[in-house]
Structure formats: structure tokens, C-alpha cells
Amino acid sequence: MGLLSDPNRRRALISLLTRLNAPICVVCYMAGVAWFMGLAFEPFTLRTYMSENAMGSTMVEERFPAGERALGTGREFSAHKKKAGGMPVDWLVKTMQSRGLEVFTQRFSRRLPFPDEDKERYMVKGTNVYGILRAPRAPRTEALVLSAPCSPGDDNNQAVGVLLGLAQYFRNQVFWAKDIIFLVNEHDLIGMQAWLEGYHHTNTTGMDWSPLQGRGGSIQAALSLELSSDVVTSLDLVLEGLNGQLPNLDLANLFYAFCQKIGVLCTTQGKLQRNDWDSVSGYSHAVQTMMLMVMKQASGRPWGDHGLFLRYHIEAATIKGINSFRQYKTDATTIGRLLEGMYRKLNNLLERLHQSYFFYLMPSLSHFVSIGYYMPAFGLLALILLLRMSSPGVLSVLTPLVISHLTGVALYTLPIHFQEIAVEHFPVSETEAVVLTAIAVYTAGLALPHNTHRLLTGRGTENGWKVLKLVAVLYLAVLLGCTALINFSLGFILALTLVPVAAFVTPDVPKALSAFIMVILSPACTLLFSVFLFQELQEMPVSFLDGWMLYLSVISQGILDHALYGSLVYPLVALLVYPCWLLFWNILFWK
């Protein structure tokens, strides 16, 4: 600190920083991106390891025998599902009861703010059925959940079959210390949301549900099973939950440990792990896996039925059976044994899962990047914002600030409220109306706020833009910092695009070119590129037109996620990120 308290050196340091400001910023940006790309390089990552002692050394012996019978039950379920044209409630209740469970049902209904065209639903009505296996001599204080969705069509029948098979098998075991809840939820996430809200008696999203009759105390962990074929080649682990929350890493470790033990191929993001990390293709494979995780996390959506558990501090993951053209197949008995092993270990838990990481990225299932490693990448980007703060006076910036935020509020509220008017006047469906209104408000915002200061203060003050820029840069730094703490991926992606804008925009740069760059780097275009990149990473590239349609549906899904499950990404973008970007847009057109 002597360096800074000595006035001469301090002056020297400051002059160095001002003189080399631009190069330092460029170096920081490059270093940030390079650091991020380096995270996927295997020697820089850590191997996963089980932190929780209660699940560690004591290996259990899995004996689940009845895979074939479970598949038979699944087929029976599918027949009854077809007959009932939805959830076969009576059949499920009877089947669960005959397996010795306490069975309860929950009805729910929800009117979506606008029709969901992807899943073709508007008025949703359904019933959840769940059975509780009461652990002997347990006082109903702790529970574990195993869920399988009742999906339309032929999906997930096998998952329900395996769930019922496991229920039957678990019922005859004596070692349970926690109640186990077997849940079959209708209308995937909406049903799950209704069940969780009913269980915890909260109502965050205005859903109608009937109160639950039976409970098992505080839920310690949950797994959701998705299985649509009799045999699978691999099991995929989905971790990303609502608002980018992740379950404790020990849950992933547990899954990985059992896959290794039983000999099942396991993937994350649908990508097998490879051993050739030192080759270019091996490295790019790891980058791909990690980038997919980053994109999914940044989207803030729940990527499986487990995603909604995380809000309630319940560690949860989805296990998806994947059937591809590989030779090596795994049957239902093996999947049952895997789940049995995992539940027996979870049953051993003395405390909630808390020993391992909650903030991590996974370049492969056996390696992870912890928060301590990935944060510097973001820190390097955020540093640029601090370096670009130039000094100067205040208050004249109030008008642009207020107007930008009002535009944000309009973007947040108008699309849903104006859908009816839009549908009347234009030949579009409700969903399109909502999305197009959102895009229209977004674009209109570009025209609105610049030059406002002139209208109100009479003339554009010469130094006014500097104050505005100071405020905007600080604003962005705080905003990104907070976002990255909670949801690193979203924070990082936003930083990647917004930081260059924030760093270099002044009224003096060439207008047309800068305006073009700014639009390219605006949040909406970031989303568009993300959609294409995501498809590319999943090895399913799309044409521009398909991409555009996908882009529209992503926006509508984002708004729906906010209304249905309380996802915060849409309000974050509309109310904070977009107004902040508008401030920079304002600076560009200051004169």
C-alpha cells in the first residue's frame, strides 16, 4: 500500500493506467476469454470426488431383480394411459396401493398467460399421483423423492414402470430410515410445480392446486427419471435447474460412482467423456460439453423436472435414458439397480447434502471446475468496467436513466397485456403476438431514449455523457457481478458481449459502424447467437429460418417460464440488462 500512499508513485500509476488504458482493457478481455477457454483443459480441472462421508466408503449391494416385470408394468401403464386419454389416476392409485404405499392425489389447474405453441397447451388441468413408502420406526421427518413424468404419447412409460417396480421392491426392504415418495406428475413441469407448491404450501405463481393430504417431512434429495425405451445405451445426467441453480456436486458424484460400479455408460449434456484430453479433438469435446452447460445454465430454465426442487433447497437431478445406435445396451434391471444403489446411499445421509460444491461447471462427468477457478475469467472482464470509469459532475443523467428503465418496464409488461389487441389487428397467433410485441418494444426502445437529455435540459452538456457513462459502467459492473455470483454462466455470457460495448462507446466514435456493432452485441442479438451456437454444440445445426423460429419460441418460453415457475431471466433482461444497454446506446447518440 506504500505504493498508493506515496503521492508521486500514485500519480505515476494513475498516469500509467490512463495512458495504457485501452491496451490494458484489450489484454484483460483476451485474458478473460482465454482463461474461460482454459477451464475445459483437463490438467487445469479437478477430478470429482465424493465429499460426503455418509455416502462414501460404505458400498451397498444392489439386488433389484425385477426389470422385466417393471417394463411389463410400464406397458400396462401405457395401455391405461391411452384408454384414459391422460393420467390413468385410478389405475395408478390402485397399483401403488397394492404395492403397500400410502397413496394420495393432487388436482391442479393453470391457465397460461398465452397459449404455449411448443407444447400445445393453454388451459392445463391435471392430477398428480404419489405414494409414500413409510420407513419403519421413522418419525416422518425426512423424505426422498423419486419422480417420473406422465408424458403425452408413448414417452416415459418405461420410467413409470421402473418407478413402480422400485416401489414394490423397496417396500419389502427393512433398511429405510427416510420415507420415500414415489411421484408421477402430469404435464411435466407444471404438475411438478403444483406438487412442490402444495407440499410446501406456497403459491409463487398463482396456480390452483388442491392441498396435499400426506407428507413425509423435509425432503432431502430427489431424482427424476425419464426413460422411453426398454433398453438404453447410456444414461444422461441433467443438473441445470431453475434460474441457473445447480444441485450439490455430490449428487453428480453419486451418479457417476454408481455408473462406474455397475458399468453403465453415463453422459452429461449428452456427451461421453473422452480420455484423449491432450489431442485437439479431445479438448474441443470438453469445451463443447462445458459450453453446453454454460448455455443451459445461462438460460435459467429448468432442463428437467428436477429443476424446480432446487428453489426449496432440495438437491435434485434428472436421469435420462438415451437409446442410440451403439452396440452396448443396458436393460431395465440394471437401471433399477443403479437407482436402488443411489437411494440406499441417500438413505444413509445424516445431514442434507452440503459438503461439496454448489457452484461448478462440468467439462465432463468426472471433472469439474469450481467457483474459485472460473471466477477470475469473469473478474478479468469486470475489471475493464472499473478501468473505464472516467471522472466528472451528476444529475443531468437522471432523465436518460429513468427513460431507459421505463422502456424496460414496458418490455416487461406490454407483451402479455397487449396480446389481445395485437391478435385483433394483425393476423398472428397469441404466442406470436407476445413475441413480436416484445421484439417491437425492444426495437422501439432503440429510437426512444437518445437525445432526451437535450429535450429536457435544453442543450447537450459537453461533459454530461461522461457522467452518464460513469453511472452506466458502474451499473453494469454491479449488475454483472451480482448475476455472475448467482448464475455464473449468464453473467459471463452477458459480460462477454456487454463489456466491449461499455468499454469503447463514446459520442466521438464513427456513428454508423458503432451503432451496428452495438446492435450486434445487444442482449437480443446475444440470445439469437446463443440459439445458433447451442444448436451447433448439440451437433444439430439449423438453417437461418429455422433458427429464427427457434429464437421466437425461446423468447415465448422465457416469458412462460417466468409466469409458470418464477424464472428470473426474463425480468432480469427486461428490467435491468436492457435499460443498462440503452444507456450506452444513449451515450453513442449524445451529440
Partner 1 sequence: MRWEETVVEEATADKEDTSAPETVVQSSVPQPKDDFQEELVIRPLHSGDIYASFQFRTLWETDFMRGNKVSHYRLFPKSLGQVISKFSVRELHISFTQGYWRTMQWGQPFLPSPPGAELWVWFQDSVTDVDGTWKELTNVLSGIFCASLNFIDSTNTVQPSASFKPLGIGNVTDHRFLRYATLPREIVCTENLTPWKKLLPCGSKAGLAVLLKSEKLFHSSFHSQAVHIRPVCQDWQCKTTSWELRQTLNVVFDLHTPGQGKLEWSLFKMFSRTLTEACPLASSSKIYIDITDDPQGEQFEVSPATHLLSQAMVLGDRRTFSVYDLTQQITFGTVRSLNLLIRWKSSEDMLRPLLHAERYVAGYGLQTGEIHTLMYNNHPYRSFPVLLLDSVPWYLRLYIHTLTVTSKGKDNKPSYIHYQPSKDRVRPHLLEMLVQLPPNSVTEVTVQFERALLKWTEYTPDPNHGFYVGSSVISSLVPSIVAMDTNSTREQPLFSSFFPCKEESSYFMRVYTEPLLVNLPTPDFSMPYNVICLTCTVVAVGYGSLYNLLTRSFQIEEPSPGLAKRIANIIRKMRGVPPL
- CA nearest 487: which of 241, 292, 290? 241
Among residues 7 and 427, whose Cβ is nearest to partner 1?
7
Sites for partner 1 among residues 16-55 (CB under 8 A):
none
Alpha helix stretches (DSSP H) within 205-328: 249-262, 280-299
Residue 141 sits in the site that holds partner 1 (CB under 8 A) = yes
74, 158 contact by CB (below 8 A)? yes
Site map (CB under 8 A) of partner 1, residues 216-255, x = contact = -xx-------------------------------------
The phi, psi pair for 486, rounded to 5°, reads -85, -45
Written as nine digits, the cell of 389 is 470509469
Residue 233 or 248: the one with the smaller Cβ distance to partner 1 is 248
Which of 73, 106, 168, 333 touches partner 1 by CB under 8 A? 168
Q: Does 102 bind partner 1 (CB under 8 A)?
A: yes
**Widest pairwise Cα distance in the chain:** 85
Q: Does 174 bind partner 1 (CB under 8 A)?
A: yes
Among 15, 53, 58, 98, binds partner 1 (CB under 8 A): 98
Q: Is 139 in the site for partner 1 (CB under 8 A)?
A: yes
Stretch that binds partner 1, among 36-44, 110-118, 196-204, 478-486 (CB under 8 A): 196-204
Interaction residues for partner 1, span 512-541 (CB under 8 A):
none
For residues 586 and 397, the answer to whether their CB atoms sit within 8 Å is no
458 part of the interface to partner 1, by CB under 8 A: no
Smallest gap from Cβ 174 to partner 1, in A, equals: 7
Long-range contacts for 86-90 (Cβ within 8 Å, ≥24 apart)?
Answer: 86/126, 86/150, 86/152, 86/186, 87/126, 87/127, 87/129, 87/150, 87/184, 87/186, 89/127, 89/129
Task: Give whichever of 4 and 444 is closer to partner 1, judged by the CB atom.
Answer: 4
Set of cell numbers at residue 550: 427457434
Q: Which is nearer to partner 1, 100 or 270 (CB)?
A: 100
Q: Is 10 in the site for partner 1 (CB under 8 A)?
A: yes
Cell numbers at 356, concatenated: 461439496
> Of 330, 239, 322, which is closest to residue 48 (Cα–Cα)?
239
CA pair distance 496, 499, nearest whole angstrom: 6
Q: Nearer to partner 1 by C-beta: 58 or 413?
A: 58
**142 makes contact with partner 1 (CB under 8 A):** yes
∠ Cα 44 46 49 (to 5°): 175
Q: Cell match 407476445: residue?
A: 434
Q: Which of 107, 121, 134, 329 binds partner 1 (CB under 8 A)?
A: 134
Q: Does 312 bind partner 1 (CB under 8 A)?
A: yes
> Of the candidates 47, 61, 57, 60, which has an alpha carbon nearest to the alpha carbon of residue 252?
47
- Single out the segment in contact with partner 1 by CB under 8 A; choices: 119-127, 194-202, 331-339, 383-391: 194-202
Give the binding range for partner 1 (CB under 8 A) out of 138-146, 186-194, 440-448, 482-490.
138-146
Q: In the set 355, 370, 451, 535, which binds partner 1 (CB under 8 A)?
A: 355
Q: Is 215 in the site for partner 1 (CB under 8 A)?
A: yes
- Residue 350 is a binding residue for partner 1 (CB under 8 A): yes
**Residue 340 has what DSSP assignment?**
H
Cβ 200 to partner 1 shortest distance, Å: 6
Which of residues 48 and 168 has its CB atom nearest to partner 1 in the complex? 168
Minimum distance between the CB of residue 171 and partner 1, rounded to whole angstroms?
6
Phi and psi, residue 268, nearest 5°: -130, 145
The CA distances from residue 273 to 51, 363, 536, in Å, are 22, 9, 19
Q: Output the smallest distance, CB 103 to partner 1, in A.
A: 8
With beta carbons less than 8 A apart as the criterion, state whether 398 and 583 touch: no
**Distance in angstroms between the alpha carbons of the first and the last residue of the chain:** 41
| Closer CB to partner 1, 47 or 201, in the complex | 201
Q: Where does this chain bind partner 1 (CB under 8 A)?
A: 1, 4-7, 10, 97-100, 102, 134, 136-142, 168, 171-172, 174, 200-202, 215, 217-218, 311-313, 350-352, 354-355
